[in-house]
Structure 1
Amino acid sequence: MDDPDQMVVEHARGRLLEYGEDIIPNLEHLEDDCLTYPIQLENISVVLDALRFKRIKNSLHSWLKSEDKSLMQAVYTICTYQYPDLTIEDFTSNFQNLRHQCWMEINSRQTSFEKVDAINKVFFDVFDFVRVNEVPHSPFEIFVNSVMESREGTDISLGLIYSLIAQSLDIPIYGVTTMNNRAPFLLAFMDKDNLLPILDWGIENNGVLFYIGVGTKGLIIDPKQLKEAYLSEGLPQNRAQFEPSPNSMIIKKYLKDIKRSYSNQAQFRYKLRDLEELLELF
């Protein structure tokens, strides 16, 4: 890998790529051992990046074919694109303290509204998660693992964390999104206790009890308010705009937001082709 003949280097790269993802740990070890050999280090890094990307692409491809389409697994896989050393154990452990604190505040006697108030208290007051208003957004305000550390994120990164915590506590809160960049990423609390006839919001709301705005510190929005707001802003009035989105659509939107954040910063634009390739899977 440090041969002066470029043809030899290309041949070596090709042979290593043929071995596939199984040699990633070996290359990572080798990378650590050749820090004082810049040419060799660069060539190994090129192969390692290619194999890591192939692993991510294959993982997302398998995820799309799976039945459960675990949101946590897909978000983790995407985060490893920017953070290749991130392990699933480290990723999920970041959620444990937040989940435990929410669990301590919730009980079976609470109404749906009270459960959201309890989560909001932990999420926005104790952990102090905040929505970043400045645009364009940085990739580090979108990747969930970095948002878990900084506590500053976008609608979608905060919404993913909020919904993953809620779902882990068997609270039916799910993401609502479309590919329309003007529409915010919202959360929907589904009516599992047949309360809609009692509340009588006055519209057909696809089984959604109410919505939660993570960008507005967990503000509860009733379905009628949301439809009126979208109508006044000229946003689409189709069903997909108002009911929980499939996890595959949420992940597609997540990738598109990451791609947009890369395009806004010159040092990351070389990654755009990779993101386009991942989006082609959807």
Structure 2
Amino acid sequence: MKTDSGIGEKLPGLVRLMDDDSTEIQKIIRQEILSHALEIILNKEAYFDRLSSDEIARFTQLLQTLHLDLVKQALAGVVQSPLDEIDLEAALLVISYWDSPDVDCGAVQARLDLLAGEIACGMPFTGHPLGFIDHISQVLFGEYGFRGNLEDYYHPGNSYLHTVLETRLGIPISLSIVYMLIAKRLNFPVFGVGMPAHFILKFDNGEDEIYFDPFYGGRVYPRRACLNYLRQLKVPDPEHILRGCSNLDVFKRVLRNLHLVYSSHTIDTAKLDDIEQFLALL
């Protein structure tokens, strides 16, 4: 996750400069905010602690004015990393902010930290990896009740990380992402597998390879069953799919799912246009 580059300390001064009507000063403020877009989105609530209530209101108004540019600049910052190493969590939090500018990204991260901590308390760190998978699945899907939203599958909230954590409802890829982000905190080697019209996970430590399905409560699938399923669908390269996908692939799929939702189910042409701009950045 990206850390604060120091923009938080500059914010009070930048907000006060907003009183200056100079075109050049306003341009400098805009450039400074956009150049730290990712840090601002991820740490916005923490930065508010450094501002007065009036300054918070003015800063929030500025962020609203710059909203789409801020999101695009933040995404550009995320994808500057090598393609297989982009910060998936940061990218998803940026999209949460795009959808809900009031979202507290720090609180979302803290929620994931808490879930990971509670899972770690009873984690069987020795034994067969199936025991690890079963334990995480039991906590997430049993104790916390995360599950597939079969009743409203195409609700846009099923694709936003902050909403999925709040409602505990999602679609295959978003439930898999929650699992992945928690597994990363536990140094547990879990990777996304983009199946046709579905999304599952793979545990792979170089010795054991286990496929399982968060949408169905962590159901485990034999590798041969996954391979046969792909062959039945006449997928050109089943082995390639089973090798797993990069964080960039996962993020693109989230955006494409949202594009489908906003084009076919919850029609929103403005969001469609934004999503197409985001995809063009990747």
Check whether TM > 0.5: yes
Deviation at 1:144, TM superposition (A): 1.0
Residue 192 of structure 2 is matched in structure 1 by: 175
- Match status 1:29 vs 2:39: no
> Once the 2 structures are TM-superposed, how far is the Cα of residue 28 of structure 1 from its aligned partner?
6.1
Residues of 1 paired with 2:117 and 2:154: CA distance? 30
| 2:30 corresponding residue in structure 1 | 20
**Partner SS for 1:98:** helix
Deviations for 1:119-173, whole angstroms, at most 9, x for unmatched residues? Answer: 0110111000110124651111110111101111011111100011011101101
Q: RMSD of the alignment, in Å?
A: 2.9
Percent of pairs with identical residues: 22
Deviation at 1:265, TM superposition (A): 4.5
Question: What SS does structure 2 have at the residue aligned with 1:280?
Answer: helix
Give CA-to-partner distance per residue, 1:28-69, whole Å, 9 cap, x none. 61498xxxxxxxxxxx6xx75451211111111121112442
TM-score of the aligned structures, taking structure 1 as reference length: 0.76
Mean CA deviation greater in 248-257 or 265-274: 265-274
Counterpart selection for 2:91 from 74, 90, 110:
74
Checking the alignment, whether the CA contact within 8 Å between 2:155 and 2:266 is kept in structure 1 is no
Change (3 A) 1:17 1:78: farther
Paired position in structure 2 for 1:227: 227
Which SS does the other structure have where 2:73 is aligned? helix
Give yes or no for contact 2:231–2:238 (8 Å, CA) kept in 1.
no
**Aligned to 2:203, what secondary structure does the other structure show?**
strand
Distance (Å, rounded) in 1 between the aligned partners of 2:254 and 2:91: 10
- Aligned-partner Cα distance in 2 for 1:61–1:238: 31
Residue 17 of structure 1 and its aligned partner are, at CA, apart by: 7.2
The answer to whether the 8 A contact 2:113-2:185 is kept is no
Work out whether residues 227 and 237 of structure 1, in 8 Å CA contact, stay in contact via their aligned partners in 2.
no
Q: Please tell me whether the aligned partners of residues 138 and 262 of structure 1 are also in contact (alpha carbons under 8 angstroms).
A: no
TM-score for both structures, normalised by structure 2 = 0.76
Native 8 Å contact 1:28 1:48 kept in 2:
no
Separation in structure 2 between the aligned mates of residue 238 and residue 109 of structure 1, nearest angstrom: 32
Range moving further from structure 2, 248-257 or 17-26: 17-26
Shift of 1:190: 0.6
Q: Distance in 1 between matches of 2:279 and 2:56?
A: 27
Report the residue type matching 1:62 in the other structure: G
Match of residue 199, structure 2, among 153, 178, 185: 185
**Pairs aligned (count):** 242
- Which residues of structure 2 form unaligned runs of 5+? 1-21, 35-39, 41-47, 49-53
Tell me how far 1:73 sits from its aligned partner.
1.2
**Within the alignment, does 1:64 sit opposite 2:79 as a pair?**
yes
Q: Are 1:80 and 1:86, in contact at CA under 8 Å, matched by a contact in 2? A: yes
Q: Which residue of 1 aligns with 2:248?
A: 248
Q: 1:85 to 1:256 in 2, by over 3 A?
A: same
Partner AA of 1:186 in structure 2 = I
Alignment match, 2:178: 161
Shift of 1:109: 1.5
Aligned residue in 2 for 1:85? 102
> Which residue pairs with 2:281 in the alignment?
281
2:3 alignment partner in structure 1: none
> CA contact under 8 A between 2:193 and 2:244: conserved in structure 1?
yes
Distance 1:150 1:156 in 2: 15
Letter in 2 for 1:264: S
Q: Which residue of 1 aligns with 2:271?
A: 271
1:74 CA displacement: 1.3
Structure 1 gap segments, 5+ residues each = 1-11, 33-43, 196-208
